[in-house]
A and B are shown apart, each in its own frame.
Chain A
Amino acid sequence: MEELIKSIVLGICSGGIYALLAVSYVVIYKSTRVFPFSQAAVLIIGAYLMWYSLIVWHLPIWLGFLITCMGGAILGGIVERAFMRPLVGQPILAPIVVTLCLMLLLRGIGIIIGKGDIQGFGESFLPMGAWQIGFFHLPKIQVYGMALCSLLIAGLMFFYEKTNIGLGMRVVHEDHVVAQNLGINVKRIFQYSWAISCMVAVVAGMLLGNIQGVGLALDANGLIAIAAVLFGGLESFMGAIIAGLAIGILQMLTITYIAPLLPGETTMMIPFVFLLLILFIKPYGLFGLVRIERL
């Protein structure tokens, strides 16, 4: 029982990052209807940016955070303008292939800027140590990470609900052509979506880099978050958050109960088995929009 509670609490903590990542996928998918596989590699870029700012350039933490966020936003804007905009109106395969290739392209850039090594932050930029609550240790790094994630998601929701650009995004989500006719600059909205989403993804990247070490293996988290996006439904923020936490809990339960039974990287495999199960049972996820097609 202690084990169970422990895994669930830790899972919720690590699930915050998955929720953040899932939200970053949803932001793009909602407005552009392109699924950004490339977000998995944006994580790597974000982690390296933060690493460069803190360790190589010796900047203060807040400045490093700012630079990383700006870098992510600029990266997203460039990606949208250079690679995604020429593909508007192409069949669904074209954006899928392009985002997959972008994932590898960004990964290659990550190899070059990181020289192929795994780097660490040395002193973590979030407080270290742990709180002793009852029978288990709660690492501060996870809790602060979770708090930062919740803050960002809350900010994003506020942006989505209350600002004009957010309103534009919601309209574009309904229908691209209608939005265009209403005088919304759809291309601009696409660009904002990519910029915001990449900004969110780099924050997730730096948090993950802080925990797991800055390296190319970070993109595995991005791929696992795909399972979360699908579980929650591709178009739902609420679903993304719940499913992100669920995937975090699932992973911790895997570590506690399944990893002793099976060899190898079960934490990588179980989310994908889960993804397959979702696809078999409820392909549109918890809150996803079931699209009815007509001839």
Chain B
Amino acid sequence: MSININRPCGTFDRNYFQAKALYRTPLRKALLILLIIGMYLIAFFIGDYGISILTLICAFTIGMLGLQIITGYCGQISIGHAAFMGVGMYTVGILQKHFGLSFWACLPLAGFIPMFIGMVFGIPALRMKGLYLAFATLAAHFVIVYVISNWRSVTNGTDGMWMKRPGPLWGIDFQSDRNYYLLVLTITILMVYLATNLVRTKLGRSFVAVRDNDIAAKVMGINIAHTKIMAFGIGCFFAGIAGALGGAYYEYVNIEWFGLDDSIWYLGFLVVGGFGSIFGAIAGATVWKIMDEFSTLITPLAETFLGGAAFYASAAFSLIFYSLIIIIFLVFEPRGIAHRWEIIKRSYRLHPFPY
């Protein structure tokens, strides 16, 4: 499901300029620009609650893009993605606390340190694939969580760490929620652009080749080891950036936020969004965060329905609710929202006819 395959039938490129273009029609370009402008402007019309949701959607979109590159494009299953996001968050926290660096200096490092760790844990991918890799990343999750929660002198253990939001840049102050949202949105757009272009490069195409059949890819002359390790590295880079942005939004990090469940939700909502497309990652992150808000809204209802103390009912409710959504999607629409969106577009384009 690379970019070309998602195209409707009969649409093809006549020259290299068309083949290289990010958008095929002027209408698409206009809509995209309108969407971006709308995303910026909306911050001035909604309250703090809306801004908090949008900030988290943006941050998690970056993380989801990372998983999309590892799992959706390169086909390497990762059950430890939330832990890599946590490494990104803690990188910023540790660098700010112990070295007094500013957020701007930490942000690239928050990408590169998870990238390095991800590459190390990706090494088993050289010898195996599929299920075995899932075990490796599961183990990575536990090892990372153990190190973070027990290296108390550096990470402050399970108590969590305080983080600072970025300082002013070119006279813009990022302390307020709105300005911070605008910053996160800008970085998100950059990262989406980066990911979109990445999957069009030689490396991105070799990701897809490795996913579809790694032996065939090897026969075609792709360096599988390099490709897989790069997929892990780049995916964890994205996760680290997402973690840094999310942590700085809360101005606090805690290891409790990167449970095994979060990694599983990452994978699950990637499926809900759609595999192997950038739009799928964005849709997955959006659905996840909207579900989050929905489940906090509906929790009082669940409490009265289930009876008993609030604390456990809400925990149980979100677990059951999310997992049922993901399972239902996998059973009935395994290719996710992105695929459904293509179907809707197609039926609109061909309206009076079924095909």
Enumerate chain A interface residues (CB-CB to B < 8 A).
35, 83, 86-87, 90, 92-94, 96-98, 100-105, 107-109, 111-112, 115-116, 223, 226-227, 230, 234, 262-265, 268-269, 272-273, 275-276, 279-280, 283, 293-295
What 5 A-B pairs are tightest by C-beta distance, nearest first?
A: A116-B312, A108-B319, A264-B150, A111-B316, A101-B323
Enumerate chain B interface residues (CB-CB to A < 8 A).
71, 75, 77, 79, 121, 123-124, 127-128, 130-132, 134-136, 138-140, 142-143, 146, 149-150, 152, 213, 215-216, 219, 261, 264, 267-268, 271, 275, 306, 308-309, 311-313, 315-320, 322-324, 326-327, 330-331, 334
CA distance A294 to B215 in the complex (A): 8
CA distance A111 to B134 in the complex (A): 26
Verify B124–A283 contact, CB threshold 8 A.
yes
CA distance A269 to B121 in the complex (A): 15
CA distance A83 to B329 in the complex (A): 11
CA distance A102 to B138 in the complex (A): 16
Question: Given A111-B312, A264-B146, A280-B124, A293–B319 Cβ distance below 8 Å?
Answer: no
Rounded to whole Å, the gap between the CB of A245 and the closest CB of chain B is 20
Rounded to whole Å, the gap between the CB of B177 and the closest CB of chain A is 31
Verify B213–A268 contact, CB threshold 8 A.
no
Rounded to whole Å, the gap between the CB of B83 and the closest CB of chain A is 12
Name the residue on B nearest A266 (C-beta): B146
Report A-chain residues with C-beta under 8 Å of the C-beta of B149.
264
**Interface class of chain A by DSSP:** helix
Verify B320–A108 contact, CB threshold 8 A.
yes
Question: Given A98-B327, A279-B136, A280-B123, A295–B142 Cβ distance below 8 Å?
Answer: no
Verify B323–A86 contact, CB threshold 8 A.
no
Report A-chain residues with C-beta under 8 Å of the C-beta of B128.
279, 283
Rounded to whole Å, the gap between the CB of B280 and the closest CB of chain A is 13
Verify A102–B327 contact, CB threshold 8 A.
yes
Verify B219–A295 contact, CB threshold 8 A.
yes
Name the residue on B nearest A278 (C-beta): B135
Rounded to whole Å, the gap between the CB of A221 and the closest CB of chain B is 13
Report B-chain residues with C-beta under 8 Å of the C-beta of A94.
271, 330, 334
Verify A109–B316 contact, CB threshold 8 A.
yes
Report B-chain residues with C-beta under 8 Å of the C-beta of A293.
215
Give 10 CB contacts A-B under 8 Å: A86-B331, A90-B330, A94-B334, A100-B264, A104-B323, A105-B319, A112-B320, A269-B143, A269-B146, A279-B132
Report B-chain residues with C-beta under 8 Å of the C-beta of A276.
121, 124, 136, 139-140, 143
**Interface class of chain B by DSSP:** helix
Rounded to whole Å, the gap between the CB of B151 and the closest CB of chain A is 9
Question: Given A97-B271, A108-B319, A265-B146, A275–B135 Cβ distance below 8 Å?
Answer: yes
Report A-chain residues with C-beta under 8 Å of the C-beta of B213.
295
Question: Given A264-B150, A279-B136, A295-B215, A105–B327 Cβ distance below 8 Å?
Answer: yes
Name the residue on B nearest A276 (C-beta): B139
Rounded to whole Å, the gap between the CB of B299 and the closest CB of chain A is 13
Verify A116–B330 contact, CB threshold 8 A.
no
Verify B323–A105 contact, CB threshold 8 A.
yes
Report A-chain residues with C-beta under 8 Å of the C-beta of B271.
93-94, 97
Report A-chain residues with C-beta under 8 Å of the C-beta of B71.
93
Report A-chain residues with C-beta under 8 Å of the C-beta of B317.
108
CA distance A234 to B216 in the complex (A): 26
Question: Given A105-B319, A112-B306, A97–B139 Cβ distance below 8 Å?
Answer: no
CA distance A34 to B154 in the complex (A): 40
Verify B79–A295 contact, CB threshold 8 A.
no
Rounded to whole Å, the gap between the CB of A214 and the closest CB of chain B is 15
Seed contacts A83-B331, A104-B264; 17 additional CB < 8 Å A-B pairs: A93-B77, A93-B271, A94-B330, A94-B334, A96-B131, A101-B264, A101-B322, A105-B320, A108-B318, A111-B319, A112-B306, A234-B131, A263-B150, A269-B146, A273-B143, A293-B215, A295-B216
Question: Given A104-B319, A108-B319, A92–B130 Cβ distance below 8 Å?
Answer: yes
CA distance A116 to B313 in the complex (A): 8
Name the residue on A nearest B142 (C-beta): A272
Report B-chain residues with C-beta under 8 Å of the C-beta of A104.
261, 264, 319, 322-323
Report B-chain residues with C-beta under 8 Å of the C-beta of A234.
131
CA distance A109 to B309 in the complex (A): 15
Report B-chain residues with C-beta under 8 Å of the C-beta of A116.
309, 311-312, 315-316
Name the residue on B nearest A224 (C-beta): B142
Question: Given A105-B324, A111-B319, A96–B308 Cβ distance below 8 Å?
Answer: no
Report B-chain residues with C-beta under 8 Å of the C-beta of A86.
331
Rounded to whole Å, the gap between the CB of A273 and the closest CB of chain B is 6
CA distance A111 to B312 in the complex (A): 7
Verify A108–B316 contact, CB threshold 8 A.
yes
